[in-house]
């Protein structure tokens, strides 16, 4: 019994020597999950093409950051670690998918027809071309706002510009995209 209490005292003193940083707690990670799950899902969606894979990647990112939370020293960097983990896991998923496609000899029955796939690719290419034609700030605002699913306030903070500028760049960017996409379809 005395040995058990001595061991407990040793653990407590070891914990006292290495304080837990507020940003690495399970509670903070839970708050981060609630606040940023959707935006991380949007980030994964930019890299992957199906919802199930995006959800898997984001869940795995939270699990990995939770497991390594002692390495996150700064509370403000938790979200950055999560974003980087989502990107890395998405890359890995794409590598596995590419390998699978190389090994796949015939199309699966539930795959879209070649015609549908070609049409989707053309639309995607038109959108990418139209996005590249935008001014840099317009493109940044639209990507962060709609693809990364950030609020206007978050976009303003990320880019270091005013909320009014975010709204103006966003509005002008959407108008320019609309014109470019209509021109591409005609």
Q: What is the DSSP string of 52-85?
A: HHHHHHHHHHHHHHHHTGGG---GGGHHHHHHHH
Most confident of 74-83, 103-112, 117-126, 168-177: 168-177
- Residue 103 has a pLDDT of 62
Average pLDDT over residues 106-124: 62
pLDDT at residue 121 greater than cutoff 70: no
Q: Of all residues in the chain, what percent carry a pLDDT higher than 90?
A: 19
Question: For all residues of the chain together, what is the average pLDDT?
Answer: 78
d(CA 125, CA 130): 8
pLDDT at residue 57 greater than cutoff 90: yes
List, for residues 143-169, the tens digit of each pLDDT value.
888 888 889 999 898 889 999 999 999
What region, left, alpha or beta, does residue 155 occupy, with left being phi > 0 and alpha being psi -120 to 50 degrees? alpha
pLDDT at residue 79 greater than cutoff 90: no
pLDDT at residue 107 greater than cutoff 90: no
What region, left, alpha or beta, does residue 150 occupy, with left being phi > 0 and alpha being psi -120 to 50 degrees? beta
DSSP-based three-state secondary structure for 136: helix
Question: Sign (positive/negative) of CA torsion 152, 155, 157, 159?
Answer: negative
DSSP-based three-state secondary structure for 117: helix
pTM of the model: 0.45
Q: Of all residues in the chain, what percent carry a pLDDT higher than 70?
A: 75
Ranking 81-85, 119-123, 174-178 by mean pLDDT, the lowest is: 119-123
CA distances 93 to 20, 72, 99, 107, Å, are 33, 24, 10, 20
d(CA 95, CA 101): 10
What is the separation of C-alpha 77 from the centre of its chain, rounded to a whole number of angstroms? Answer: 15
């Amino acid at each position: 019994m005395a040995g058990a209490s001595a061991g407990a005292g040793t653990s407590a003193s070891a914990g006292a020597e290495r304080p837990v940083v507020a940003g690495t707690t399970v509670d903070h990670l839970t708050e981060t999950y609630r606040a940023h799950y959707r935006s991380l899902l949007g980030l994964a969606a930019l890299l992957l093409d199906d919802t199930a894979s995006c959800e898997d990647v984001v869940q795995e990112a939270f699990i990995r950051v939770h497991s390594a939370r002692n390495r996150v020293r700064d509370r403000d960097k938790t979200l950055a670690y999560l974003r980087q983990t989502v990107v890395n896991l998405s890359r890995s998923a794409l590598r596995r998918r590419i390998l699978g496609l190389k090994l796949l000899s015939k199309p699966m029955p539930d795959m879209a027809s070649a015609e549908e796939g070609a049409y989707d690719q053309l639309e995607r290419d038109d959108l990418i071309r139209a996005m590249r034609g935008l001014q840099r700030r317009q493109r940044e605002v639209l990507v962060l706002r709609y693809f990364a699913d950030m609020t206007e306030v978050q976009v303003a903070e990320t880019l270091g510009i005013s909320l009014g500028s975010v709204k103006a760049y966003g509005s002008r960017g959407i108008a320019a995209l609309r014109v470019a996409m209509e021109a591409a379809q005609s």
